[in-house]
Chains A and B, each alone.
Chain A
Amino acid sequence: MLTAITFLPLAVAAAVLLLSRSAADRLFVWIWIVTATVDLALVVVVWTVFDPGGGVAFEQAVAWIPQAGVGYHVGVDGLSLPLVAVTCVLFLAVAVYSLRETRRVRSYVAVFLFLQTVCIGVFVALDLILFFLFFDLAIVAMFFVIAGWGHGRRARAAALKFFLYTFTGSLALLLGFIGLALAAQPHTFDIVALTDANPVAGRDGYAALVLLAIGVGLAIKTPTVPVHTWLPPAHTDAPAAGSAILAGVLLKMGTYGFVRIAMPILPGAWRRYAIVLVVVGVISVIYGGLVALAQTDFKRMIAYTSVNHLGYVVLAVGAAGTLAGSDGQARQLAVTGAVTQMVSHGLLTGALFLLAGVLYARRRRYDMSAFSGLAAKTPLFAGVTAVAAFGSLGIPGLSGFIAEFQILTGSLATQPVATGIALLGILITAALLVWALQRVFLGPLRIPDAPGAAAAFPDLHPSELVAIVALLALALAIGVAPRFLLDVIEPASRTLVDLVAR
């Protein structure tokens, strides 16, 4: 089942490449939409059948390179299933949004379908090498998205920086994986087996080195301060659809790696160095917020808020590793909040990046100072952006609140100082998002001219509207009735907290 969900887009991508180049652009996008819908429907089926208390489900294990301890092993549990679902939702939204794409649509659709396969693959993989394979291929696919459909010449430099930076991270990860596999007897890369074995227990120095390699690799991907510098240019110069996927899905691979690999397999080292994660998380929260505040470029600003939002996740997983002065319930709350934040950030930031794309599609620029008073001209655009921005700053009623509330409550017991500082981050993001809304949408109407663009500044097109509203509706659903999501996550985070505490 999971194999079908994972590889369906890849199969369709191959089929798309066999189709004639001269077929209508819309046909390709519709093929993509249908594929993404089918994939999402399959995930919904998995979700309904899934038993949250039953641990890893839908497992499938086939020997692949047995001599090296590598297998094809997939499965989902409460930590990965929500991320698989949000991946499928985002790809469907991006597909609908892309109905207006006109540049080399056949290759565009093929690359995105390929990207969907590898993104789902990362979250269902239960083998370190399989995880690494998808992790790496996601970088390759995203490189082509940015270089091929990004904005102008700068895009290629941004793509190169993105590739080199995140590839460095992935190779650090690989070293750590090899270190883990060699510590286990027999050598294996299987995540479930390694989790059971706790292979580096009692070897403190070795465990620290392995955690360092894995931690650096994942931190670059997340990204946290100080290894976040690839993110702003990559986002600014990527096409809107690419940005939405990059922020919504690819960044989660880093934080997901923490809860899937680093915490359960290296519990001892994780507990010992949890404070480092807490500090890095808090710095990311504050620094990301402050730098976002200073941006004049709408898209760059959202990119920096990602650093801020994922900082909360890092804070939470760090707090979950601090045993002293906390009970299991608080730590569990922190982990649940972290996973919820990944889902919520995927939906809301995905929506915000698509909205930034709306701006770019009309005027080929993102600088907020050029626009003013758009609310009068484009009420829909203004309204939807306002909802997304308020959701992003954590207003109750949307998913961001549920996530951040749990993270802060869960972390407060063990890390009161850090949590107190992180609370300030919410204030900063609130200020900057409201300020941005005010600059762009309120005040006297001012729309810059753009060479080569139509003079009209139309409101949201139906395809844009459907794509973005769907994401926001889901965020609202989680904000109002979160149980359907939390019921899935909570048993898994309880298991994880127990694993870390052993």
Chain B
Amino acid sequence: MNQNVAALIPEAALAAAAVIGLVAGSWLPRRRQWAVRALLAGACLIGLAATTVSIAADRPELVFENAFAIDAATNAGRLIVFAALLLVICLSIDTVHAHKRESEFYVLLALSATGVLALVGANDLLMLFAGYMLTSVPTYGLVGFAKDHLATEAALKYYLIGALLSVLMLAGVTLLYAAGHTTGYSELRPALADAPTPLAALGILGVYAGLLFKIGGVPAQFWVPDAVDGTPPPVAAYLTTLPKIGGLIAAYRVAHQALPASPVNWPLLAAVLAAASMTLGNLAAFHQTSVKRLLGYSTISQVGYLLIAVAVATRSGLAQQSLLFYLAAYTVTNLGAFAVVAHLPHASRIDDYRGLAHRRPLLAAVLVVCLLGLVGTPPTAVFVGKLEVFTAAIDGGYGWLAALAVANTIASLFYYLRWLVPAFQPAPDDRLADPLTPAGPWSALAAYTAGAGALVLGLISGLALPLAAGPLR
């Protein structure tokens, strides 16, 4: 029985930072709550270091009664989560610094990210559900962080949908347990081969329902636009990236480890969900004028592309590396776009961005890289991700899905350009207030870092892709 605690140093560091931060935050004066932020950033660095050691050691293992897997996917997921968390911290400083609930903000962030890490490594349905709850519950609080009517509405909606789908997910776990008499993935795989099909199908449906809520995919996407629009940009940035990392890797692991022998045609289910997500997300984004809502819908469509990799999990050898690389690429690119939004908190509509290229050429460049990156223009990282995902889809026999994804990519170009074009127009003369007032230096730093990252990750994808390969345990 492997109870190797040292294998969980990254998760433990983040959890410890949350607990210490909670206690310390209660005693720290308001102006010195940045200590909690520093603590969290330190935990991220420890996590990155420990993950690097784990990658270098290259000893995939299952720990704690096979409930948690330490393998290539977990380590890649950890790297993405910690790097993304650092970026989120950086882009939130300008918004929450010296806020009366600053330490709560970071503690909730840390707790939820711990849940994401649990989802990434979960190799047991109960672990999966625990990770799901740990990710969700702190974010209910985060969504309501602003405490105004928009935030309240968003939080309520988010909470109700989340609560409903968590019940469905628990029911799904129960059904799969009934079908396979076990909750561990490795034992479920043979057991599901001759389990009653309706039971297994309903169970799979339930588990996927919960994960869809986490990743904001159709049909559990209703909370996304409201939550993104109603919350401060840092929270929106967090909500639309980190839980997706956990949810998608978890979905992939379930599909790849527990379901291959099942007679249920779950790849088709995932493919249909992918098609629906990318298409509906794109169609809804078309006529948005609020930049946050636009980004919110864009994340729904991105989930669609990512789900393609889940659909071909067992049908193409490229699925895993395409999923993990796309996740990393999407994370850094999406955070870059949100960092620009966080840096210009008064520019809430597309038209407010007029004059940006003239006033802030570098920030406009970041916007170009990130938005064209989300489209998938080479040589940005998402392009390589899309290339991998499309290749995996065709390789896995889902050519129609790849064609649909291409069609959607073209459609998405339309609304991303609708945002980019005003940024390169001269500012109107009759503005009463200047919407391009910056929030502070930190969000700009986050934007520049993420923009550069979105470009560099694409250029060095040859070095990054091997990290995403490697068998699951």
Q: Which residues of A contact B (CB under 8 A)?
A: 63-68, 70, 129, 132-133, 136-137, 140, 144, 147-148, 156, 160, 163-164, 167-168, 171-172, 174-175, 178-179, 181-182, 187
Q: Are B421 and A160 in contact (CB under 8 A)?
A: yes
By size class, the interface of chain B is 20 to 34
Pick from A67, A164, A172: contact of B406, CB under 8 Å: A172
B175 within 8 A of A: no
Which A residues lie within 8 Å of B461 (CB)?
Answer: 64-65, 68
CB pair B417–A163 under 8 Å, yes or no, is yes
* Smallest beta-carbon distance B411→chain A, Å: 9
- A137: which B residues are within 8 A, CB to CB? 377-379
Asked if residues A67 and B390 are in contact (CB atoms below 8 Å), the reply is no
A147 & B394 in contact (Cβ 8 Å cutoff): no
Contact, CB under 8 Å: A164 / B466: no
B384 touches A167 (CB 8 A): no
How far, in Å, is B308 (CB) from chain A's closest CB? 13
State whether A182 and B395 are in contact (beta carbons under 8 Å apart), knowing that A160-B417, A174-B406 are contacts in the complex. Answer: yes
B410–A167 touching, CB < 8 Å: yes
Query: Are the CB atoms of B413 and A167 closer together than 8 Å?
Result: yes
Quote the shortest CB–CB distance from B301 to chain A (angstroms): 15
Q: B378 contacts A68, CB within 8 Å?
A: no
Known: A65-B384, A67-B469, A164-B413. A144 touches B462 (CB 8 A): no
Q: Output the nearest chain A residue to B468 by Cβ-Cβ distance.
A: A67
Q: Does B402 contact A (CB under 8 A)?
A: yes
Q: A144-B424, A172-B406, A175-B406 are in contact. Are A68 and B469 (CB under 8 A)?
A: no
> A171 contacts B410, CB within 8 Å?
yes
B406 touching A136 by the CB < 8 A rule? Answer: no
Using CB atoms and an 8 Å cutoff, list the residues of chain B in contact with chain A. Answer: 321, 372, 377-379, 383-384, 387-388, 390-391, 394-395, 402-403, 406, 409-410, 413-414, 417, 421, 424-425, 461-462, 465-466, 469
Those 4 A-B pairs whose CB atoms lie nearest each other, nearest first: A133-B378, A65-B462, A67-B465, A171-B406
Whether B391 and A147, one on each chain, are in contact in the complex, defined by CB atoms closer than 8 angstroms, is no
A179 to chain B, nearest CB (A): 7
Q: Are A136 and B465 in contact (CB under 8 A)?
A: no
By beta carbon, the residue of chain B nearest A63 is: B462
Least Cβ–Cβ distance between A93 and chain B, in angstroms: 27
Q: Which residue on chain B has the smallest CB distance to residue A132?
A: B378
10 A-B residue pairs with CB within 8 Å = A68-B391, A70-B387, A140-B372, A148-B424, A163-B413, A167-B410, A175-B402, A175-B406, A179-B394, A182-B395
Q: Is the CB of B409 within 8 A of A171?
A: yes
Task: Using known A-B contacts A171-B409, A175-B402, A175-B406, determine if residue A133 contacts B379 with beta carbons closer than 8 Å.
Answer: yes
B391 near A178 with CB under 8 A, answer yes
Cross-chain contact of B414 among A70, A132, A140, A164 (Cβ < 8 A) = A164
Contacts of A156 in B (CB 8 A): 421, 425
Query: For the complex, what is the distance from the CA of A175 to the CA of B407, rounded to whole Å?
Result: 11
Q: Find the A residue at minimum CB distance from B466.
A: A67
Chain B nearest CB: distance from A368 CB in Å?
31
- When distances are taken between beta carbons in the complex, the residues of chain B under 8 Å from A178 are 387, 390-391, 394, 402
| Chain B residue at smallest Cβ distance from A66 | B462
> Residues of B contacting A168 with CB < 8 Å?
410
Which residue of A is nearest B469, CB measured? Answer: A67
Would B421 and A147 count as touching, CB distance under 8 A?
yes
Docked complex Cα distance between A140 and B372 (Å): 9
**Complex: how many Å from CA A353 to CA B377?**
29
- Closest approach, in angstroms, between the C-beta of A317 and any C-beta of chain B? 25
Q: Quick check: A68 and B377 within 8 Å, CB to CB?
A: no
Q: Which residues of A contact B383 (CB under 8 A)?
A: 133
Q: How far is the CA of A163 from the CA of B371 in the complex (A)?
A: 14
Question: B465 touching A65 by the CB < 8 A rule?
Answer: yes
List 10 additional A-B contacts (Cβ < 8 Å) besides A67-B465, A133-B378, A178-B390. A65-B461, A66-B462, A67-B466, A68-B384, A136-B378, A148-B424, A167-B410, A174-B406, A178-B391, A178-B394
Given contacts A68-B391, A164-B414, A172-B406, contact A136 B321 (CB under 8 A): no
Known: A148-B424, A156-B421. Contact between A174 and B387, CB under 8 A? yes
Residue of B nearest to A175 (CB): B406
Chain A hits for B395, CB < 8 A: 182
Q: How far is the CB of B420 from chain A (nearest CB, A)?
A: 9
Chain B residues contacting A63 (CB-CB under 8 Å) are 462
Instruction: Give Cα A160–Cα B384 distance, bound, in whole angstroms.
Output: 24
Complex CA–CA separation, A66 to B469 (angstroms): 12
